[in-house]
Structure 1
Amino acid sequence: MRIAGKTALVTGGTDGIGYEIARQLKERGAIVAVCGRNTGRLASARDQGFQAIEADLSTKAGCDTLVEELSGVPIDILVNNAGMGGPSALLDGFDLDQTDRAIFLNLNAPMHLIAGFLPTLRQRPEATIVNVTSGLAIAPRADGAVYCATKAGLRSFTQALRHQLKATNITVIEALPPVVETQMTAQNTHKKMPAADCAADIVKAIETGQTEAYIGATKMLRVVSEISPALARRVMINY
């Protein structure tokens, strides 16, 4: 896909990987809308020339707001990037409200937005949907049960969606980042990939039509998983 002149929506596009994707798409000549909840970051995004929409995608109402705000806009690229970690362990007091928010934001929201924007995407000469999952969609770690479950679910949904849309003008991409330097990973002590580098691989996948973008360390995890799924699970469960 030639990005120049295209219109893109990047969820969670005011910070972290999402911001870098939005910035790099804009640098290539795209018109870019972003959404988020932090009013300061939204204001900063507007100052940088993005259309910035306040929407809480952990709720159906927030998804509906975003679709309504962009009604009639010719979206060519939809990047479902927004996400959250969720509770880490059952034994320490499982926060079910936070669990429900994480499930909706990480898994339900991409489905709602794809359903909402699909009629528009199908009218474009060419279009792309990017669902950002994680290396943890391949094999989970013990202290990220909710996050891993939602990303594994989104991975399965993306594969099925790609098959359903294979005869259309829409390319469906799954992007699988490793641990990336963001606010969400601030307490993670593992080596982290810069958000700009991760975003560059995702934008490259959009440009080339690559349907699966294994990024950084997830390339090796993919190889291990293909050789021995059990070994991949053993390696990752305490990662």
Structure 2
Amino acid sequence: MQLSHNTILITGGTSGIGLAFAKEFKQRDNTVIICGRREDKLEQIMLQHPGIITHVCDVADEKQREELVEWLVTNYPDVNVLINNAGIQLDTDLTNPCNLDRVRAEIETNLVAPIHLSSLMAPHLRDKNGAAIINISSGLAFAPLAFMPVYCATKAAIHSISLSLRHQLKDTHVKVFEIAPPSVDTELGHDRREDKDQSHGGIPVDEFLAGAIEALQNDVYEAAIGQAQQLREKREELFEMMNK
């Protein structure tokens, strides 16, 4: 994948991995557009990182996704890269009646939104040089943590969707990447923490980013970064260890 002179949309770009991608690609002479739910965070990013373009959008909402793509292709018709990064991570006890609103929110954000956005963008991307769809999955797609079963299932589905989408676009110029992070030090999963400002733990974002950029640069279409590689290769063994 070419890493400069693109026009890139990044979902979930207000923090963590999404914001790290935005800053990295901006430094590499790309036009970078991020979207997120929090208008205050987007305004703060515009002030701190001049040149990053922002747009308010809750990707869990079907209508807002459609409006986002319409706005995007109208105002930035050169857009040629979609990074499906937005995600939420919730714990779910399947041994008792679960809160279906939380389950639906997790599935809509983590799975339905990337499917829908990819399908909306694919006809536009087919005509663009250097086009790419980059799906952010997780090492937990391969060896899940049992206390967050819905999150892990959505990431396993993103792995499967990426395979199918890559096959469907094989006769076009659109490259389809799957980047599977390990545990990365971001705010992901703050819902289950008493201190909402506490981070997730895991490797530094910059360490993950270096591995992801290397994979994109070398056209590694399925890249498990760091410990995510072990989760993919030793899934049964590590599942038992992780869930003791």
Q: Do they fold alike, i.e. is TM over 0.5?
A: yes
Unaligned runs of 5+ in 2: none
**1:93 to partner: Cα distance:** 5.3
Aligned partner of 1:150 in structure 2 is 154
Is 2:89–2:106's contact at 8 Å kept on the other side of the alignment? yes
Identical aligned residues as a percent: 36
User: For structure 1, which segment, 138-147 or 188-197, has the greater mean C-alpha deviation from structure 2 after superposition?
Assistant: 188-197
- Aligned with residue 96 of structure 1, among 95, 100, 119: 100
Aligned partner of 1:234 in structure 2 is 240
Is 2:187–2:200's contact at 8 Å kept on the other side of the alignment? no
Aligned partner of 1:139 in structure 2 is 143
Aligned partner of 1:50 in structure 2 is 52
User: For structure 1, which segment, 41-50 or 74-83, has the greater mean C-alpha deviation from structure 2 after superposition?
Assistant: 41-50
User: For structure 1, which segment, 98-107 or 184-193, has the greater mean C-alpha deviation from structure 2 after superposition?
Assistant: 184-193
Unaligned runs of 5+ in 1: none
Aligned partner of 1:111 in structure 2 is 115
Aligned partner of 2:210 in structure 1 is 200
User: For structure 1, which segment, 66-75 or 139-148, has the greater mean C-alpha deviation from structure 2 after superposition?
Assistant: 66-75
**1:236 to partner: Cα distance:** 3.5
3-state secondary structure, aligned to 2:148: helix
Is 2:14–2:41's contact at 8 Å kept on the other side of the alignment? yes
Deviations 1:112-153 (A, max 9, x none): 111111112111122111100101100211101110111111
> Amino acid of the residue matched to residue 42 of structure 2?
L
Aligned partner of 1:64 in structure 2 is 66
User: For structure 1, which segment, 112-121 or 193-202, has the greater mean C-alpha deviation from structure 2 after superposition?
Assistant: 193-202
TM-score normalised by structure 1 residue count: 0.91
Structure 1 stretches (4+) deviating beyond 6 angstroms? Answer: none
Q: 1: CA distance between counterparts of 2:13 and 2:234? A: 32
Is 2:106–2:150's contact at 8 Å kept on the other side of the alignment? yes
Deviations 1:78-107 (A, max 9, x none): 100000013422346522111101101000
Deviations 1:178-202 (A, max 9, x none): 1111112454998511122212322
Aligned partner of 2:18 in structure 1 is 18
Deviations 1:50-88 (A, max 9, x none): 110100111112211211210232222110000001342
Q: 1: CA distance between counterparts of 2:156 and 2:66? A: 24
Aligned partner of 2:169 in structure 1 is 165
Q: 2: CA distance between counterparts of 1:189 and 1:80? A: 21
- Aligned with residue 84 of structure 1, among 83, 88, 105: 88
- What is the total number of aligned residue pairs between the two structures? 234
Deviations 1:202-229 (A, max 9, x none): 222222211011111112222223xxxx
Q: 2: CA distance between counterparts of 1:7 and 1:62? A: 20
Is 1:35–1:53's contact at 8 Å kept on the other side of the alignment? yes
Aligned-pair RMSD on alpha carbons?
1.9
Aligned partner of 2:181 in structure 1 is 177
